[in-house]
A and B are shown apart, each in its own frame.
Chain A
């Protein structure tokens, strides 16, 4: 049904995100990465499946938990590490960091430190595509937390009335920082909101990369055919707290245990074995290759320089 190569690509992307996040958390603990760091651990299949349905020409706009989207769009992890280190070779010269990482060359318009703040911007990318009659779509990654912000409702409505080629992907990890979805909204099936705006909507298992991919693919097709927008609610769960320094003690142990087992890496690995007919040895080789690449990225990041204060002052001279 799928090309072996494609299943491998999905797995490698998911595992790269997993390793990137895990290794960067270690670096954070060592004091090499500062500031806020919101890991995408446990949610990797969403970025991977959605971005696999896109073409190079398409846009995405990301959230505060944005490393996975950046990787899934094809960013180089060494330049991501450099950015997280605050180095000049980073994607944003070290000025953006984790929460503002953007890679315009891969159509990634950037992560966003304001929950919900990226929604209107993604709508704008959709307007831009429509006005220029481009054959592109824009995926707006957003969250259950953002869905209770006013701009979510406004943006859904604008996307709908203007028939924009926009796919709004709610990564429903069931927590708005530390407040549970049940405490945030009465109707916890967020995809149901789409109907209120006349928007085609899906609710899927966000940890199953093929389910994500299939849903994203038909959504992209709909948008390209002028039948956008589409809302996708991808249900998932964080493997930890809101950010690196949040132990997530409010997360029920049994639920976390379920999701640690119902894990995007494990599920995609199963696809490698069952559908791509690969062996544990093959998979171990992929893993080692990715881990090696990550170590090289760390070494690269450490070797990079920083923007000088003089260069910085020149940049902001007319601000």
Chain B
């Protein structure tokens, strides 16, 4: 057996490796998207893949999101495993019929006979001044739709293992990356590994408070946890990694231990995933709670271009720190 070598690589490189390895492993895997070939993708995730796999498997598309996404879905229905890239999750609004009415429902509408092994890769969240139509966090829209898996990795390791699982999954997967994570580095083994959907990851163990997060809020929550630790608060940080399926057991187990919960999401609060998780916790672990389940979410707004206002709109480390203290010092 080859010796496993673990290197520090970037999130975007980890995604690139996942695509490359799966394309080598399975000839039915191919890529569709805008500028993914020669240009290597807006965030360089597909760099080098055109050279290795050629233009038949790394297909640059016209700016016709609904149809090239639908083409990916149709190819998935007929034996292929396409990975479609939508540049910004904001643009996925152009493809909602194909995702919601076609991909998500196909297996159901055919009485379980149809299969759609399809991955939609996109990225969301605030960057640095990308303004209202390139900065949204829209995962709640997909979370709401039965029949879709929803994956949001926070680290390079998770990005690679989860993307490989997404490609091997027989159901449509919405795989949302975060634009501020592409350049972050993490330890990634060079061996073939996958990460099972529905398994959260405890990124920091603690006893006083459970912080639940995903995507870019995981790193910020971990930073906040270190500040809290200096003040004697021992926070546990759960990275959900996949929102559908949701690792309910991991959440409940942690809540039963700590009695205090803070859910942190970059997306706006209204109709969001944090609210749904809070409702699950109060219903299934009410007796273990020592205070109300708290949510820290983005402001209910579009993302402003002004940089100071932009950072005010989504949770920062200091906000998580403050909200965590509110959570734990609630009188009961």
Contact = CB atoms under 8 A, between A and B. Distances in A.
Interface stretch (A35-43, A66-74, A102-110, A184-192): A102-110
B111 A96 contact: yes
A132 B80 CA distance: 9
Interface residues of B, number: 40
A123 B71 contact: yes
Contact of B245 (A155, A316, A318): A318
Interface string A119-137: 1111111111111100000
Given A114-B97, A121-B73, A128 B110 contact: no
B75 interface: yes
Interface residues of A, number: 44
Interface in B44-99: 56-57, 59, 61-62, 64, 66-80, 82, 97-98
Residue among B68, B70, B147 facing the most chain A CB atoms (10 A cut-off): B70
A132 B101 CA distance: 26
Contact of B64 (A109, A110, A121, A158): A158
B234 to A, nearest CB: 35
Contact of B97 (A90, A102, A117): A117
Given A128-B79, A131-B56, A120 B114 contact: no
B71 A124 contact: yes
Given A117-B97, A121-B70, A124-B74, A92 B111 contact: yes
B101 A114 contact: yes
A12 interface: no
B142 interface: no
Interface of A: 59, 61, 90-96, 100, 102, 104, 109-110, 112-114, 117, 119-132, 150-151, 154-155, 157-158, 161-162, 315-316, 318-319
12 contacts: A91-B111, A95-B108, A96-B110, A117-B101, A117-B102, A119-B67, A120-B68, A121-B71, A123-B71, A150-B66, A155-B70, A315-B108
Interface of B: 28, 30, 56-57, 59, 61-62, 64, 66-80, 82, 97-98, 101-102, 105-106, 108-114, 146-147, 245
Given A120-B73, A128-B74, A128-B78, 14 more contacts: A92-B109, A94-B111, A95-B108, A104-B113, A114-B97, A120-B67, A120-B68, A120-B98, A121-B71, A123-B67, A127-B71, A150-B66, A154-B68, A162-B59
